[in-house]
Amino acid sequence: MHITQLNRECLLHLFSFLDKNSRKSLAKTCHKLLEVFQDPLLWSLLNFHSPVELKKDNFLLGPALKYLSICWYSERVKVCNIEDRMKNNFQKDFCSRHENTVNDFLLEVCNRCPNLLSLTLSGCGHITDDCILLLLKNCPNLKTLKLENCVRITDQTLEAVTLYGGSLQTLHVDFCRNITQTGLERVREKRPSVMLRAERSANMIPDNKPEKNLMLEKASRKLVQL
């Protein structure tokens, strides 16, 4: 039996075992397989391993999406985690190539995936509080939010959880150095049913604002002069 003689249910099942690139390649072989590739039922779960993958045309984004993860485990993530004002020209150039990639992608998710249940972001150093706020507003059924090593995430995200995370059951903010203990306590107070985990976050050294660093430098100079 030729693969195209299988019914739609069987073809969807076969496609489900393939990665995104393989699905796209198979879809190019005939019209029937292209229709299977375009079936929303095939795209309830999406996993990405770098920002570059978000720009590929090998997946569909729509209301069927329930589970999304963008996990970037690379030495390059360390560059993104450096405070912008401390980056050299090479580091700034590297970040400029993908700085808005994840944020722009999540804005698309906000607009097209209202039924999202779970979001995991790891190593996404440029993701912002505003983006997470919009996602919580536009995806009211979100039950799981896991953020790891997302250095721009602050207590503003935690405040958004207290305001718009009505369906949230699990919240992880691990290794997010600009999260504070005060913000965590507020979530525990306002959303006691949420399973909250914040490994290292509130114990890490947060970014200092430029004016604070300037004050510290001036104080250090005075001590040296004395």
The per-residue pLDDT for range 119-150, each reduced to its tens digit, is: 999 999 999 999 999 999 999 999 999 999 99
**Burial (0-12, 13-18, 19+ Cβ within 10 Å), 225:** exposed
166: left (phi over 0), alpha (psi -120 to 50) or beta: alpha
pTM: 0.85
What average pLDDT does this structure show over 157-161?
97
* % of the chain with per-residue pLDDT over 70: 91
Number of other residues whose CB lies within 10 A of the CB of residue 143: 16
What average pLDDT does this structure show over 191-217?
74
**166 pLDDT above the threshold of 60:** yes
**225 pLDDT above the threshold of 90:** no
Q: Which of 32-41, 79-88, 174-183 has the lowest mean pLDDT?
A: 79-88
- pLDDT-based confidence at 224, cuts 50/70/90? very low
What average pLDDT does this structure show over 162-172?
96
d(CA 93, CA 22) in angstroms, rounded, equals 32
- Beta-bridge partner residues of 121: 70, 147
d(CA 209, CA 116) in angstroms, rounded, equals 35
d(CA 103, CA 122) in angstroms, rounded, equals 13
| pLDDT value, residue 99 | 87
Mean per-residue pLDDT of the chain: 89
d(CA 106, CA 147) in angstroms, rounded, equals 14
Question: Tens digits of per-residue pLDDT, 99-121?
Answer: 899 999 999 999 999 999 999 99
CATH number for region 43-223: 3.80.10
Give the domain ranges of the chain: 1-42, 43-223
123 and 77 in contact (C-beta within 8 Å)?
yes
Tokens of 146: 């896991």
43-223 has the same fold as 1-42? no
Burial 96-131 (b: 16+ CB within 10 A, else e): eebbebbbebbbebbeebeebbbbbbbbbbbbbbeb
Q: Tell me: domain 1-42, CATH 2.60.40, correct?
A: no
Q: Which of 9-18, 24-33, 91-100 has the lowest mean pLDDT?
A: 91-100
**DSSP label of 121:** E
| pLDDT value, residue 86 | 85
Task: Look at residues 19, 29, 23 and name the one whose alpha carbon lies nearest to residue 49.
Answer: 19
Q: Is 164 helix (H, G, I), strand (E, B) or coil?
A: helix
What average pLDDT does this structure show over 7-30?
94
| pLDDT value, residue 216 | 47
Selected residue with higher pLDDT from 45 and 3:
45
| pLDDT value, residue 218 | 53
Tokens of 107: 């804005």
44 and 56 in contact (C-beta within 8 Å)?
no
